[in-house]
Amino acid sequence: MFRYTLVGYDGSPSSQRAFQTAVAFARCGQGRVRVVSVLQVTEGGADACALMMADSGAHRAQELLDELLAMEPDARSMVDVEVTHGSPGDVLLSQVQQHDIDHIVIGHTERGALARWLLGSVSTDVLARAHVPVTVVR
């Protein structure tokens, strides 16, 4: 079974289901779950992003953990959280190497073709580039 499962989390219903699925996998195999919330800064550049992370990173991580434990109260001992910034697909894939992740669970939100073309799809990006098993939750 999987030892360390990564979940990309943005608070959407599909990412909530992804988290719950990852916890279920972890319970089956006595694994752990790493939940990463990626903040994207579209204006202001790297300086604004660094300032935002310094001001709110630890606070947001605690809020994220509280939100997750409200869904799965008994998962505290198996969940790690991180709030970071960057391109979601790139960040999630870099987590695989940095933390010896052996499985990714990610939510998928239905978008129209135009929205996918303009905004991209994190799940599609991760599926295309991951070198570990990926579970996509709808």
Render pLDDT for 87-132 as a digit per residue (tens, 0 to 9): 899 999 999 999 999 999 999 876 555 444 444 578 888 999 999 9
Considering the segment(s) 4-137 as one domain, its CATH architecture is: 3-Layer(aba) Sandwich (3.40)
- Interval 44-93: pLDDT, tens: 556 555 655 555 678 889 999 999 999 999 999 999 999 998 889 999 99
Residue 16's pLDDT is 96
Burial of 46 (0-12, 13-18, 19+ CB in 10 A): exposed
